[in-house]
Structure 1
Amino acid sequence: MDDKEKREKMHNVKILGWVAFFGGLSQDMIIPILPTFYAQVLGLSKEMIGLIEGSVTTIVSFMRIISGIVSDKVGKRKSIVFIGYLFSAIGRVLLTLANGTYMVLGLRLIDGIGKGTKDAPRDALVAKSSDKKSMGFSFGLQRMLDTLGSFLGPLITAFLMMLFANYAIHIRYKLIFLIGGLIAFVPIFLIGLYVVEQKGGKLGTTFKLDFSVLKGKFLLFFIVMLVFTLGNSSDAFLILRARSVGVRDAVIPVIIAIFNLSYALLSVPSGILSDRIGRVNVIRLGWFIYAITYLGFALARAPWHIWALYLIYGIYYSTTEGVAKALVAHIVDEQNRGTAFGLYNASMGLLAIPASFIAGYLWDKVSPSAPFYFGALCSFIAIILITLFKIEKS
């Protein structure tokens, strides 16, 4: 690969990073206020709210698998990513018109279809645009910009809530949905104008559900990730834990913003570190930090403990999220990466459901500390397994 081609590919990686930034910014302007919109504006019950958001989680996971396989078969990552972001943008901007249960459910499902459609082929396109020696940096850049969007999104929404404070509540929310929805169209223009399709894939092959990628080192890593994820319950339990030790509700968004900033700023350094010392070594470090953090949440007794733990929690995310995707790209052949990323992303999302159920059961039946001891235990088991399996190849 000559220097010109390297520059062109790195340009692709950077543009895809900004695609992730504006996509995350749009999403996290809207998501924090959706529960209140459901309850106070539409008057939905808690059961219906759970059904809507649970349905979105399910459709996202399903579409991640389908889009990953399709992108491998047709060899066209860019067009599928474009379609995914287009669906999400349409679903978000039309929330301004939502006036009842079925309409908001339909729009959230459209957004979920878009989110699930773009994830796996985008990851595969990032991998194809990267040299193996810089894969960690590329995925670290993705996570950094995506998370910066997630950091800024709620802050912008908080500012807009104050700006529109004198408006009727339904007008206030719909104006924010409109602004967030319009921002969701920025990634579409970036993809269409600046992202370059990378050659590859099995053109002309017949589509079928093909899970043959589940073998060898990827299967071993997949199993280890399932063990770890079983103890990685919803971050909602961290918020509940913060409240249980005296953190005020108004302070929690600030703590989460600091967590996102920590995660964002350390993602690229963590990715570069994985390029130098190996993906597995950095993931192992991240899981160890996760275990220590969860033990900290189990033992926390004062609000300042929560501030410190969330800051450390950002380090865990930075050393695992992007680095794990770089490892998947490293151990799977290029023509199967879309399928691999789809299975990886979808399974992690689906296993979050039983993981959160276990955490809730332990919280109610044992103690508020029990879910965090369980999470730490699963993390330590995963560290042992990933060490024994010797997953990373040269």
Structure 2
Amino acid sequence: MQSLKPSFRSLPRRFRILMVRVGVSNFVFNMNPYNSIYVLALGASATQLGLLTSIGTGVSAAFSVLTGWISDRWDRKTMFLIGAALGILVPTIYLLAPSMVWLIPAFILYGVSDGILQPPWSALYANSVKNENRGAFYGIANFFTLMPTLFAGLVGGAIVASSGGLNAEGIRPVYLAQASLLIFSFLFVLRFLEREDKPRAPFDFSVKNMVEDYRRIMRNRGVRSWVLMKSLGSVSIGLADPFWMLYAAVVHKASAMTMAYMVTVRTVTNIVLSPIAGKYVDRFGRKKMIISGRGVMYLATIVFIIFGGEPYLLLAWVLMGVNDATGIAWSAKEVELVDEEDRSKITALSHASFNSLAVPASILGGFLWDSVSPIAPFLIMMIIDGGIRMQVIHKFVPESNNSSKHEPAHETL
């Protein structure tokens, strides 16, 4: 821990404040791996779950393109707070929902909130550190922001176990805890986060200006390939995403506490490895770490879908934690494709492209689960992610050069 102190103290105040918000958000997310089970308990089928998920991701994609551009031209803190305020309403609706129909506005609001706050948050975070040590600083940040989540899964599991188990009434109190924590993080950011200097470009809303800005960004070397790669994310990672814990519960008969332990061991692995992964990201490059992490994730998926029993589920989630630690490389590579003033926009492009096929992907995921096999979403995920997305990164996305300037595109893709 002593070796981390100087680097932590050297982080800008804005970065540390954002770390608090990230830590709370991570805790909120990790304390509730039961969301899919809750939706089904309120009467939805797996296909309807996929459709509801697609609604949220589709709305998020649409909003992010607009709000990413506004964030770079206007005020990132204000945009961030608008998105965070809307996000508080999501667990509140889940808490009060008597049936599946009530969840439709929750999924829509989640999409709006996510689309608004992700671009400014990414830019605020990235612009606080320099390219050459971004991996190391992100690794240190992950160490501290993930630490509060160490017991998040256990807290969520204990709430569910003491409230009636894996059913709607047992899971419902978790949403009250989530809403309370999100209110705290909103007030904290509102009070302590300082506003940035005014953006370089004057804010003058115009669809023409927005289109021209995005066209300019797409001319940066590697951006088009990155956007293409991210667009396939929803038919790979996103397709399988709603079904991990559902598979554990339905196929492997995992209990609420087993799933809580899974979340915990994954988080511990990520916490322990993040500072090391951050240094490796700076030393060996973003691309190598991205591709290596994915190989570990595919191994984890194979263990997860084939072997039953708590030890194997925990092993699979430890391996998932190894892959999670390499997420630093994804975050660093993406923002380094453009200059500082464009980082909300590159996040918006990435976010929108990932969710561009969300509607058909989510419907396909539900269909595969209901009509083909519960294993099918995970197999399709590995084929598309490993066979196409990683190949695009390897062949067409340049390695970061730690420079503040970016070359125009010379891509054949």
TM range, smaller chain: 0.7 to 0.9
* Residues paired across the two proteins, number: 381
Could you tell me which residue of structure 2 aligns to residue 160 of structure 1? 159
Could you tell me which residue of structure 2 aligns to residue 219 of structure 1? 224
Q: Is the 8 A contact 1:28 1:150 kept in 2?
A: yes
What SS does structure 2 have at the residue aligned with 1:196?
coil
Could you tell me which residue of structure 2 aligns to residue 347 of structure 1? 353
**Structure 1 unmatched runs, 5+:** 1-5
TM-score by length of 1: 0.80
Change (3 A) 1:50 1:333: same
Q: Is the 8 A contact 1:291 1:380 kept in 2?
A: no
Q: Are 2:331 and 1:325 aligned?
A: yes
Separation of aligned partners in 2, 1:284 and 1:50: 28
Change (3 A) 1:357 1:93: closer
Q: Is the 8 A contact 1:297 1:369 kept in 2?
A: no
What SS does structure 1 have at the residue aligned with 2:332?
helix
Change (3 A) 1:201 1:141: farther
Q: Are 2:184 and 1:178 aligned?
A: no
1:31-46 matches, within 5 Å, as 32=34, 35-36=37-38, 43-46=42-45
TM-score by length of 2: 0.76
Residue 207 of structure 1: how far off its partner (Å): 3.8
Residue 391 of structure 1: how far off its partner (Å): 0.9
Could you tell me which residue of structure 2 aligns to residue 135 of structure 1? 134
1:280-332 CA distances to partner (integer Å, 9 max, x unpaired)? 2211222232344445556x34534443232112211221x332121111121
Could you tell me which residue of structure 2 aligns to residue 287 of structure 1? 294
Q: Which moved more, 1:284-293 or 1:310-319?
A: 284-293
Change (3 A) 1:272 1:56: same
Could you tell me which residue of structure 1 aligns to residue 190 of structure 2? 192
Change (3 A) 1:289 1:162: closer
Change (3 A) 1:241 1:7: closer
**Structure 2 unmatched runs, 5+:** 1-7, 402-413
Residue 278 of structure 1: how far off its partner (Å): 1.8
Could you tell me which residue of structure 2 aligns to residue 3 of structure 1? none
Change (3 A) 1:137 1:162: same
Separation of aligned partners in 1, 2:247 and 2:160: 27
Separation of aligned partners in 1, 2:358 and 2:297: 16
Q: Percent identity?
A: 17
Could you tell me which residue of structure 2 aligns to residue 275 of structure 1? 282
Name the aligned partner's letter for residue 106 of structure 1.
P
Q: Provide the aligned C-alpha RMSD in A.
A: 3.7
Change (3 A) 1:330 1:361: same
Q: Which moved more, 1:192-201 or 1:134-143?
A: 134-143
Change (3 A) 1:53 1:331: closer
Could you tell me which residue of structure 2 aligns to residue 122 of structure 1? 121
